[in-house]
Chain A
């Protein structure tokens, strides 16, 4: 420690390494750059819940349709493998996924193993500084395959944004037991232009059920 400053009443030791390559040797690093057809998204959120509980909620992949957009069904096919079904505007996309690393209460990593999607990712749960809850960081990589382009064409959601929205839904569900929604509420005639804008206003992609 530097002798220049000895008074840090609430400081916590800075981590040398951060989740998903965010901190390396005490320095912040940006997420990996998109290249060679591979896209990356890294996003994080602060959740008022214990890391163990959030880990358990994420690891229980069969409940993913409750909080992941357009995932209609997930079934475990083995200890570490699962089959995913996604319904995007009437089109069905399916793939298999396997868990690569499983550190209870701390980290899960996965990758797809065949099917319509080519993706890999990890999620890290760690206590936030200052006892403010759990920081959840997701790093996901994917190729613009059938899945990603289906998102873009059918529902107008950039696939990177979908990862961000899913983490937002996860947080809302963990903190409140529901996901905020406005679909099916009353309104007057939208007119032609209004209907065209429905995707940017969140009225086209069904908000996941949020029920457990």
Chain B
């Protein structure tokens, strides 16, 4: 089959590899009909996440048709149409029973690598480094899905792939981000980053009762999408714009009740701080660029809740912890507990409350993926979301 492989920093190739096979009794093989490139893939592309190896198959947002199931998979059959969550969960450990699916004890074959770095290991993820399980990803024609009895969501309606594909990650991720912001009706919520995760965080904040959402980014096409959802936008790159002042101004001097960092460790910064982080990262004195996190801690109101869906991987520098303590804020974060959200969010799509496909800007083939990784990283061509048809020979 064809698959998009990580071959080193800033180097992705579409290669022919062998087809996946069933390896465990709860596995399924999925013939992938649609897959996508995520903002998280950029952290791999840019070399921020350790334990990637050349040849690793990328991709964790995919859906398709069940091709084959292992002998213990009783709820799926060949021919079923499914969306696959990017976190792999066993369903039986203490954490799965507590519905903390992304903390599953039993899905990471390389748990010792993550234990060494983080104290304990989280669940395995598709296509996201050996530390996170080393599973082959879904930017391919087929994928092996472990614990297929627990994860994949069956799509029984005839909604097109593009409307349900994002249940594999970014819609639930944006939703959990809003839930983690502990929104009360009437709250004002600020969202940093208007990429796909930010978009769904904005939409979900409204669903959960926010009176006002303020969206922060610099890319005009993304800010326009945010305004389309009903948010007020702030372009942080504009001269004379201070995000802190803007958020104070727009909240009557109180500050946002909830703040959502939907940017993560590759935050871009126009100011000196950005240069500072770049140098420190280059010198290996910090591993992550944390300008958005710093800003959000500073901006949030007293007693507010900071939700962090944006990914961080290692050590952060100059995080104003005194401000966090001084204002008594709450912070919630982590990989999305996917399995809690897929079904209820599918219902919202089926009811016509939201059509997640509005963020798609590019539809490509697997062979185009390597060049599109670059476009996606550099935010060229007004890119907002790239969807891949793994069976198409020519671009749509």
Contact = CB atoms under 8 A, between A and B. Distances in A.
B118 to A, nearest CB: 16
Contact of A187 (B25, B55, B92, B147): B55
B3 A186 contact: yes
Contact of A201 (B15, B20, B53, B106): B53
Contacts of A210: 24
A145 interface: no
Contacts of B124: 180
Contact of B25 (A161, A178, A194): A178
B366 interface: no
B93 A48 contact: yes
Given A180-B109, A181-B23, A188-B15, A175 B90 contact: yes
B13 interface: yes
B309 interface: no
B54 A193 contact: yes
A1 interface: no
A132 interface: yes
B55 to A, nearest CB: 4
Contacts of A8: none
Contacts of B147: 176
B26 A177 contact: yes
Nearest to B7: A188
Interface string B111-137: 111000000000010000010011110
B17 interface: yes
B23 A176 contact: no
Contacts, number: 119
A35 interface: no
Interface in A193-212: 193-194, 197, 200-203, 207, 210-211
Nearest to B4: A188
B109 A207 contact: yes
B144 interface: yes
A133 to B, nearest CB: 6
A181 B24 CA distance: 8
A172 B94 CA distance: 12
A188 B52 CA distance: 13
B134 A201 contact: yes
Interface residues of B, number: 47
B40 interface: no
A133 B93 CA distance: 10
Given A164-B112, A194-B53, A201-B51, A175 B93 contact: yes
A203 B135 CA distance: 12
A96 to B, nearest CB: 30
Contacts of A46: 94
B110 interface: yes
B18 to A, nearest CB: 5
A189 interface: yes
Nearest to A191: B54
Interface string B54-74: 111100000000000000100
A203 B54 CA distance: 14
Contacts of B25: 177-178, 211
Given A132-B94, A187-B136, A180 B106 contact: yes
B392 interface: no
A87 interface: no
Nearest to A193: B54
Contacts of B140: 186
A202 B23 contact: no
A178 B109 CA distance: 11
B199 interface: no
Contacts of A184: 21, 23
Interface of B: 1, 3, 5, 7, 13, 15, 17-21, 23-26, 51, 53-57, 72, 90-94, 97, 105-113, 124, 130, 133-136, 140, 144, 146-147
Given A176-B93, A190-B54, 4 more contacts: A48-B97, A172-B106, A178-B72, A180-B108
6 contacts: A175-B90, A186-B57, A186-B136, A188-B7, A188-B56, A190-B55
9 residue pairs, one from A and one from B, having the closest CB atoms: A188-B5, A188-B55, A186-B17, A187-B55, A201-B130, A188-B15, A178-B24, A180-B109, A172-B106
